[in-house]
């Protein structure tokens, strides 16, 4: 039997981890905020010690990117100090930890795709908090798998796809940024990848470290919205006009990286796992969200 302790229960990734296919004999325990508050790091070690899991997935995070600009201390507690405490407690029992990070640790100034050798340089409080989380997890537990992903979407929670569907129902036209590039990643694909590689992490010879794991194809927010709106039209639903705008026309408290393309080839080479392109995964999510 393999017992996996998951910090997080209601977020997009946690929801999909519940539905993922796991190796026979694997049991998962999900801890919501009421069970484990990552903003209170001093309370987390006893939880790990009592559970004594075989592996830990830190799926909980502070993800309010713009709000983090005025709550950086809280974002850092949840995204860095809490995961560090979990990782240190896990290390005492030689338990591997998976920490999910983000494209926001980069400034987006690179011309091509980012790989793991590129130097992080976050533009926002959220990005800084996640980079701090990477660094603290890395220092606290040598048996760590840090997975950087991007533009996560699903049928759950708050995400770009759900927002576009909501706006399409109430507007004739929608302004969407056309000069930010990234790799949309279905939470279900990310969860399934974690379930596939987790057994390998229990091997003492596992290749731990920091990896990129995102959707295999890139687009802009405008291009991603076009995929959603086209699917609405195919279902006979209202299709708004998709108006392309520049980032400068849509100011936000937090600066976004203009280029969030993450190259996942290293993870594929080491673990034999890669995620499908967003064009393949988006219809599955839309089938959940839209009437037949």
Catalytic residue numbers? Answer: 126
> What token pair was written down for 211?
């990896």
Spatial contact of 155 and 232, defined as CB atoms under 8 Å apart: no
In angstroms, the CA 3 to CA 138 distance is 22
Spatial contact of 107 and 117, defined as CB atoms under 8 Å apart: no
Going along 142-183, which residue ranges are E strands?
A: 144-149, 152-153, 173-177, 181-182
Number of Cβ within a 10 Å radius of residue 163? 14
Q: Which residues contact 223 (CB under 8 A, 6 or more apart)?
A: 178
End-to-end CA distance of the chain: 40
Q: Following DSSP, what letter does each residue of 212-265 receive, concatenated?
A: E---SS-EEHHHHHHHHHHHHHHTT----EEEEE-GGGS--SSPPPSEE-B--H
**Pairs from 76-80 (Cβ < 8 Å, separation ≥ 24):** 76/128, 76/129, 76/132, 77/38, 77/39, 77/40, 77/41, 78/38, 78/39, 78/129, 79/38, 79/126, 79/129, 79/130, 79/132, 79/133, 80/129, 80/130, 80/132, 80/133, 80/135, 80/136
Q: Which residues of 146-156 are buried (b: 16+ CB within 10 A; e: fewer)?
A: bbbbbbbbbbb
């Amino acid at each position: 039997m393999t017992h996996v302790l998951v910090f997080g229960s209601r977020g997009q990734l946690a929801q999909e981890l519940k539905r993922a296919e796991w190796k026979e004999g694997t049991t998962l325990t999900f801890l919501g905020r009421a069970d484990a508050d990552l903003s209170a790091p001093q309370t987390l070690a006893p939880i790990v010690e009592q559970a004594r899991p075989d592996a830990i997935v830190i799926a909980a995070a502070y993800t309010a990117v713009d709000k983090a600009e005025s709550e950086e201390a809280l974002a850092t507690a949840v995204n860095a100090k809490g995961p560090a405490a979990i990782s240190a407690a896990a290390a005492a029992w030689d338990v591997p930890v998976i920490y999910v990070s983000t494209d926001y640790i980069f400034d987006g100034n690179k011309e091509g795709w980012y790989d793991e050798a590129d130097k992080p340089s976050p533009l926002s409080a959220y990005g800084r908090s996640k980079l701090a989380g990477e660094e603290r997890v890395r220092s606290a537990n040598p048996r760590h798998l840090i997975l950087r992903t991007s533009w996560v979407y699903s049928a759950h929670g708050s995400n770009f796809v759900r927002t576009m569907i909501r706006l399409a129902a109430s507007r004739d036209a929608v302004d969407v940024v056309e000069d930010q590039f990234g790799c949309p990643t279905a939470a279900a694909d990310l969860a399934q990848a974690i379930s596939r590689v987790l057994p390998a992490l229990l091997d003492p010879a596992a290749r731990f470290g920091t990896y990129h794991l995102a959707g295999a194809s890139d687009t802009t927010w405008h291009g991603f919205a076009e995929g959603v709106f086209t699917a609405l039209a195919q279902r006979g639903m209202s299709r708004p006009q998709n108006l392309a705008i520049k980032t400068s026309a849509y100011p936000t408290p937090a600066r976004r990286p203009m280029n969030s393309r993450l190259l996942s080839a290293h993870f594929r080479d080491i673990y034999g796992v890669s995620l499908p392109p967003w064009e393949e995964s988006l219809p599955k999510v839309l089938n959940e969200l839209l009437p037949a």
